[in-house]
Amino acid sequence: MSDSVTFSDLATAAYCPRQLYYRRRDDDRGLPESVERTQALAHEYPTLVEASDTALAGLVVPKPAEYRARLGAVMTRWPALVAPAETDVLLTGKDCRGMVAKVLSDPLAPTLVSPGNPPEQGVWEPQKVRAVAAAKALAWREEESVSRAYVEYPRHGVVREVTVSTRAKAAYRRVLRTVRRMDGPPSRLGDDAKCGACEYRTECGVRTRTLASLL
């Protein structure tokens, strides 16, 4: 499928299309080892929920007792996350393809694992777009509608559900169109928060307000 877009490209473009332009030009890099380690935690909940303070120290973000309580609540609410139907699955849909950490069977849903911090509520926009892409790819494979996906934040003991709503699908389609139409460097964002956290900010020539005020 020649114009199939990867989940990863889609999520990057949802953050900033210009960042995707740089990543593609650099042919990207593989996942850092630390990210892979964090992703592995999503497959170890039964062990982690009983782990000692010492074992959890340096591995998780909240205090160990808080972490165990959060994870216990997650496992009670979504037991299927502990015994998924499939793990580390490559999903290929009509428009997008990529890896998901788990596929749950009842109800049918993909899960993604985030190495980062969850927002106060819901998930970050690039994660929402990626989750919708994964849900649509799973729906394509199973020839069955998929109405939700999950984003797991294993270092925090937090899991968030993403509803594949009309609005979420519209955001997904918008980003998909942007990626497909990209044929040169897209405009800069002019978003202090995003640009300030971007690894390409020097090369991009963006001067964030915080940095500008220091110079």
Tell me how crowded residue 55 is: count the other CB atoms within 10 A of its CB. 13
Q: Is 78 exposed, middle or buried (0-12, 13-18, 19+ CB in 10 A)?
A: middle
Q: With CB under 6 A as the contact rule, which of the stretches 15-23, 68-76, 118-126, 143-151 interacts with ligand SF4?
A: 15-23
18 binds ligand SF4 (CB under 6 A): yes
**Pick from 203, 186, 138, 202: which is nearest to 12 by CA?**
186
Whichever of 9 and 95 has its CB closer to ligand SF4, that residue is: 9
What's the CA gap between 105 and 127, in Å, rounded?
A: 21
Q: Cβ distance 146 to 184 under 8 Å?
A: no
Contact set for ligand SF4, span 184-213 (CB under 6 A): 188-189, 194-195, 198, 200-201, 204, 206
- By CB under 6 A, the residues from 21 to 80 that bind ligand SF4 are 22
Among 8, 12, 19, 114, binds ligand SF4 (CB under 6 A): 19
For residues 80 and 171, which CB has a smaller minimum distance to ligand SF4 in the complex?
A: 171
Residue 91 · residue 97 · CB < 8 Å: yes
Q: Which residues bind ligand SF4 (CB under 6 A)?
A: 16, 18-19, 22, 188-189, 194-195, 198, 200-201, 204, 206
